[in-house]
Structure 1
């Protein structure tokens, strides 16, 4: 069996189907006694140039070890799937199991986004707490005013 690196570009309108596609391709590979060493879902990315008037696509990278028959079956599956815009299969000398730089960048971006969301949530909570305190203080002052008015009326 040989090692291959496979990149597929899926039409952006079919991004929600990518996990199912990955599972189908993974089962096709394992049925052919192959092995999937790495799968990276890079998400939607801008294309370098338009392909069939499409400017964005969902990218998936797989490092696999398969026989030539299974590879032919996989290529056929790519070819007859309308959601797959392009695919690239490169022969490798050995299995690459480390994460790619593109995927690491994607993970960093996701972490930054989670951090921004967390900070935004904290700011919203702080604003709500401040507003609640002001309303509570305003309510106390308003409640205290009639008492002061009663005391001054009684004193007169």
Structure 2
């Protein structure tokens, strides 16, 4: 199975029941095609770059899942037919390299050595005469 992510934008005027019905339908499609839903995030209402169907704002949802091509075709078909969905896009992320982590350098400093990013500061007190 391949790993995919889909982002879809819903109309911001939808009620909680309408939003839940769209997200439930998406999860049902994934499970009916033997896929595995890994993550579903609500990114909230954001301003769109341009108006879509006379809306300048939209509610963004992020969906990450495992599945095959038939699953993607059916999920996109259902999102396309749903009037509540303004836009959607699916991307195959199976072949993307994992994020490289940079190993941290261990700094061992003896007494009196200056460690990068730190400086010894001396202050003198002046007395007023």
Provide TM-score, normalisation by structure 2: 0.68
Greater strand proportion: 2
**Does 1:46 pair with 2:47?**
yes
**Residue 18 (structure 1) aligns with:** 19
Q: Deviations over 1:123-144 (max 9, x none)?
A: xxxxxxxxxxxxxxxxxxxxxx
Shift of 1:37: 0.6
Residue 73 of structure 1 pairs with residue 90 of structure 2: no
User: Does the Cα contact within 8 Å between 1:15 and 1:58 map onto a contact in 2?
Assistant: no
- Contact preservation (8 Å) 1:44, 1:56: yes
CA distance in 2, matches of 1:24, 1:53: 25
Determine the C-alpha separation between the residues in 2 that align with 1:93 and 1:69: 16
Q: Give RMSD over aligned pairs.
A: 1.6
TM-score (norm 1): 0.57
Unaligned runs of 5+ residues in structure 2 are 97-129
Q: Which has the larger radius of gyration?
A: 1
1:9 aligns with 2:9: yes
Instruction: Write out the 4+ residue segments of structure 1 that deviate beyond 4 Å after TM superposition.
Output: none
Matches within 5 A, 1:119-134: none
Deviation at 1:94, TM superposition (A): 6.5
**CA drift at 1:20:** 2.1
User: 2: distance between equivalents of 1:15 and 1:58?
Assistant: 11
Listed as ranges, the gaps of 5+ residues in structure 1 are 96-156
1 or 2 for the larger relative contact order (CA 8 Å, sep ≥6)? 2
Distance of 1:15 and 1:7 partners within structure 2: 19
Q: How many residues align?
A: 95
